[in-house]
Amino acid sequence: MNVFNAYKDRLLDLLHAMAGDGTLPAGLDLSRVTVEPPRDPAHGDLATNAAMVLARPAGLKPRDLAETLCARLTAEAGVAEAAVAGPGFINLRLVPAVWLGSLRACLRKGERYGDSTLGNSRRVNVEFVSANPTGPMHVGHARGAVVGDVLAGLLEKAGYRVTREYYVNDAGAQVDALARAVHARYRQALGRLSDDALDTLLATKAIEYGGDYLIPVGRVLADEMGDRWVDAPEAEWLPAIRERAVAMMMDLIRDDLAALGIAFDVFTSERALVAAGRVDDTLAFLSDKGLIYTGVLEPPKGKTPEDWEPRPQTLFRATDFGDDVDRPVRKSTGAWTYFAGDMAYHRDKVARGFQDLINVFGADHGGYVKRLQAVVRAVGEDQASLDVKLCQLVKLLDNGEPVKMSKRAGTFVTLREVVDRVGRDVVRFIMLTRKNDAALDFDFAKVTEQSRDNPVWYVQYAHARACSVARHAAEIFPGRDLSPAALADAAVERLEAEEERALIRLLAGWPRVVESAAEAHEPHRVAFYLADVAAAFHGLWTKGKDDVALRFLRPDDETLSLARLALVQGVATVIASGLGVFGVQPVRELR
RNA sequence: GCGCCCGUAGCUCAGCUGGAUAGAGCGUCGCCCUCCGGAGGCGAAGGUCAGGGGUUCGAAUCCCUUCGGGCGCGCCA
C-alpha cells in the first residue's frame, strides 16, 4: 500500500465529513490537496497543504482551518502526532508500525512492489524510434528508443495497458533512394557494376546510401532475382526492390532493437495506410468538418526562402487547434505531403481506441509538435490527446574527448557498436540519467567506471552488496529460512536507528515515485530515486564498518540480524523493481 | 522575424506539476583513518535559481518582458 495515498484518502474522507457537518462549505475543490513527504524530515513523516489551499474558498484563515483539521487528524489510526507549521502546513508523524508495515509489504510483493492501479487499465499508445528504414540504427536513435521503451514500462507498472508502436516511413523519397542504392549493390553483386563506377555514383550523389551494410542486400537480391532487372528501366524494378530492401532494413533494425532489449507490439506502415485509402478518408473526414481549404500562406517572416512564391495550397486548419499556421497536406505534384500521412496515421491510432497518445521524437522535430497535437484534437473530437517527449541529442565521448562522427566519412557510430562495447544495461540506464529534454554526455570511459560518479555502477553495486549480505547471512545462520517471505515476519520493530528508519521511509516512497513519474511521463525520476536508495544503503553499510554494533549481521543477535536483513532485502527488492522498469538486469555480484 | 526547449553552487545536474531555510555528486579547504599512496569517513565554504516586472497566503516552478544558448520555420521525411 502506498502510505501517502492511504493518508490522502483518509484526509479526503475527513474533509468530506467536515463538509457534511457544516464545518466546511459543501462542494469544495479538493483537487489541489496533496499529501507529501516534507522537505525536511525533521518536520515529520507526512505534510499536507490542505488548510492552505482550502482556506480561501472556505472563507477561513489557513491557520484556523489547520488547527481544526489537525485535531481531527490526530484521532486517525496510525497518526502519532499532528502539528500546524509555517503558513498552515499540517505535519503528521506516523507510528513506526505504519512504515514497518510497508517494508513487510515490499518483501511480500517482491519486484511487484510499487505496482499501481493509477492507470486503471487505460490504454496508452507510445510511438518511438520510428527511424527511417534505410539502414541500421545509429547511436542517435538510442536515447529515444530507451526513453520510449522505459516510459512504456513505467506506465505498465502504473497500471496502464501500453502498446509500443513503430511507424515505418516506407512511402517517401528516402526509401526510393534506398531502392536505387540497393539496385546498384545488386548490379555490383552480379559483376555488372564496377567498384569504381559505384564510387562515382556515390560521389555525384546519384546514390545517397553508400554504407557497406547494403552489400549483402545486393547479394540476396542477386540470388533471388537473377539478372532480370540489371538493365530494366527504374520504373519496373523500383517498387519490388524497394519492398524487399525495406523489409531487410526492418529486419536489421529489429535486430538492433533486440540488442537493446526492445520489442515493439505494432509496426504501422505508412505505405499500407496510403494504399488502404486512409489518407483520403482522413482528408474527407476533416473536409466535412470544414477543416480543409485552399489558401495561400504568408512567407515566414524574416527568413523568406529564395524561391518563395505565393501559391494556393490545400491546407489543414491547424490554427483552429492552437498551431501557429495552417499546414499543407498536398504537394504541387498532387501527391500527399508527409504530414497528410501522419494525419491519417494519428487518426488510425485514435480509431484503434487510444485516447492517450505519446510520441517520442528527437529535438529536431520540435517544430512538428503543435501540428500533430492539432491533428489529434481534430480527429479525436477533443477526446484524445497527444504528449510529445522530445529527446535532446547525446554527445558521445571517450575519456572526455568527443567521438568524431561524420556521415560523409562513414564514421558514424552504430547503436550496435555502443551496445557491444558497454553492454545493453549500461546504455539503457545512462540514457535515463537526464531529463529527456536536456542534452546528455555519454562517455565510454565514465559509464563503465567503478565509482560513485557512475550511477549505473553505484546502483548495481548496492544491489550486489545487498545480495552479498544475504549470502553471508545464510552462512552465519544455517538452516534459517531467509526468503523474503520469511523475512517479512522478522522483528523489524527492532530497527530503531534513525538511519534505518529513514531508509525504510525512503523505500516506502517507491510506489509514489512510480505514480508521479508515470503521471509526468518522466522515467528519469526513477533513476534519481534509485541513486538515492543506493546512497542511503551504502551509507548505512559504511556506518557498520566503523561501529560493529551497526553491522547488518550480528552473530550474537539473530533476531536483530534477521530484522536488518529484512531491510537489506527491501533495498534489493526496490532496486530490482526499479531496474525492472528500466529493463535492466540487477546483478547479484560485481566482477 | 515567429514558434518550441533550455539557463539553478567553480563543474555536472536534481528539485516530487505552486510549498517551509533551494539540494546531491565532483572539485576546493579543514580534520579523521592509513607505514605511505589510493580508497574511505566527518565537517566547512560556495547561490540575486540569467536580469526585470506581474499573479497570491507562498514562485526556481505559472504569466509578461529583456539577455544568452539549442532546435525548427510552404511541395524533405
Q: What is the DSSP string of A388-455?
A: EEEEPPEEEEETTEEPP--TTTT-PPBHHHHHHHH-HHHHHHHTTSS-TTS-EEEEHHHHT--STT-H
Q: What is the pLDDT of residue A39?
A: 81
Q: What is the pLDDT of residue A407?
A: 56
Q: Please name each of the domains of chain A with its CATH number.
A: 3-94 (3.30.1360.70), 455-582 (1.10.730.10)
Q: What is the pLDDT of residue A381?
A: 84
Q: Give the whole-angstrom CA distance, residue A386 versus residue A252.
A: 29
Q: Could you count the other beta carbons within 10 Å of the beta carbon of residue A287?
A: 13
Q: Which residue places its CA closest to the C1' of nucleotide B40?
A: A542
Q: What is the pLDDT of residue A409?
A: 53
Distance A573 CA to B39 C1' (A): 28
Q: What is the pLDDT of residue A549?
A: 84
Nearest nucleotide over every DNA/RNA strand to the A334 CA, judged by C1': B75
Are the C-beta atoms of residues A147 and A129 closer than 8 Å to each other? no
Q: Which residues of chain A have pLDDT under 70?
A: 1, 405-411
Q: What is the pLDDT of residue A182?
A: 97
Q: What is the pLDDT of residue A398?
A: 87
Q: Could you count the other beta carbons within 10 Å of the beta carbon of residue A250?
A: 17
pLDDT in tens, A23-44: 899 888 898 899 999 888 888 8
Q: What is the pLDDT of residue A123?
A: 97
Nearest nucleotide over every DNA/RNA strand to the A38 CA, judged by C1': B20
pLDDT in tens, A281-338: 999 999 999 999 999 988 887 777 777 888 889 999 999 998 989 999 999 888 999 9
Rounded to the nearest angstrom, the gap between the alpha carbon of residue A9 and the centroid of all alpha carbons in its chain is 28
Provide DSSP, A496-529. -SHHHHHHHHHHHTHHHHHHHHHHHT-THHHHHH
Distance A285 CA to B28 C1' (A): 66
Q: What is the pLDDT of residue A1?
A: 66
Distance A571 CA to B52 C1' (A): 48
Q: What is the pLDDT of residue A310?
A: 84
Are the C-beta atoms of residues A140 and A394 closer than 8 Å to each other? yes
Are the C-beta atoms of residues A380 and A405 closer than 8 Å to each other? no
Q: Which bases of chain B come closer than 7 Å to a protein CB?
A: 1-6, 12-17, 19-21, 23-26, 40-42, 56-58, 70-77
pLDDT in tens, A200-212: 999 888 999 988 9
Distance A532 CA to B24 C1' (A): 9
- Which ipTM value was assigned to this complex? 0.94
Q: Which residue places its CA closest to the C1' of nucleotide B42?
A: A543
Q: Which amino acid is at A388?
A: V
How far the first Cα of chain A sits from its last, in Å, is 36
Q: Which amino acid is at A447?
A: V
Q: What is the pLDDT of residue A433?
A: 94
Are the C-beta atoms of residues A50 and A33 closer than 8 Å to each other? yes
